[in-house]
Amino acid sequence: MKQIETLVFDYGGVIVNIDDASVVKAMNSLGVTTFKRLIHFRKIKRLIYQYINGLVAEVVTLKEMLSLCRKGTTTRDIEKVLEELCGNLPVKRLEALVKLRKRYKVYLLSNINDTLWQKSVSLMKQLGYSTDDLFDGVFLSYAMRKEKPSVEIYEEMTQQTGLNPATTLYFDDRSENAEAGRKFGLQSVLVKTNHLEEHPEWQEINKNIKEYIAVR
């Protein structure tokens, strides 16, 4: 691994663990016992993807998913299902981010909508962390009106931070995003979804930060 000065992380599947099974379970409780199969249908899969990335209004998502449910299901029921998309935040991962900021600039670059992000921020607060504790800056698709893997989102992040792509390690769990980052000049790591700790690059920077803290 080359010299590293900056770290950039995706959110879903990298910082936060995402579990489709929890969404399936929540939909099953609403009488949609076929959702495990439906979630793989192009229309539903695309709808959830567009919702997460802020490409479709929440009201549209609620209406489409409500149409799948048994009579009597409410909008609030569906909202609870969508909250499952916020995932699970491992505290040890958050603790590591705080330590990494002692040596590296740490940024978040995520395709996410406003609703899910605000719920994620609330989850961080429940665990005792703010975004200012974890990151030097956050770059979110809904706020930037750009999304990965378009080169424009990497360009804007670089312009705003002044980071050097050649000395930046970038973690993302979608192959098209990791490849776009690599083409932009970042040192990209394609993360196995929800398994950041398995990657040698993550292990190495955490080893480095322990040594860095020990000598200070």
Could you tell me if 136 and 88 are in contact, meaning their C-beta atoms sit under 8 angstroms apart? no
Beta strands 6-9 and 187-190, pairing class:
unpaired
| pLDDT reported for residue 21 | 72
Alpha carbons 75 and 161: distance in angstroms, whole number: 40
Query: Which has the minimum average pLDDT: 33-37, 91-95, 121-125, 153-157?
Result: 33-37
One-character DSSP codes across 47-68? HHHHHHTT-S-HHHHHHHHHTT
Helix (H) or strand (E) holding 141: helix 141-144
Residue 66: its pLDDT value, please? 79
Residue linked to tokens 């229309």: 43
Q: Strand locations in the chain, DSSP E? A: 6-9, 105-110, 137-140, 168-172, 187-190
pLDDT > 90 in the chain, percent: 60
187 beta partners: 169
> Measured between alpha carbons, how far is 143 from 19 in angstroms, rounded to an integer?
25
Q: What global pTM score does this model have?
A: 0.87
Q: Lowest mean pLDDT of 53-67, 94-108, 174-188, name the range.
A: 53-67
Q: Is the model's pLDDT at 120 over the cut of 80?
A: yes
Task: Name the pLDDT band for 35 (thresholds 50, 70, 90).
Answer: low
Token code pair at residue 82: 């969508």
User: What is the gyration radius of the CA atoms in the chain, in angstroms?
Assistant: 18
Fold classification of 6-17+87-214 is: Rossmann fold (3.40.50)
- Tokens coding 153: 């989102």
pLDDT of 214 strictly over 60 = yes
Name the more confident of 137 and 63: 137
Locate the domains of the chain by residue range: 6-17+87-214, 20-86
Q: What would you measure as the largest C-alpha separation in the chain, in angstroms? A: 64
Residues 47-58 pLDDT 10s:
777 777 777 777
44 band by pLDDT with thresholds 50, 70 and 90: low
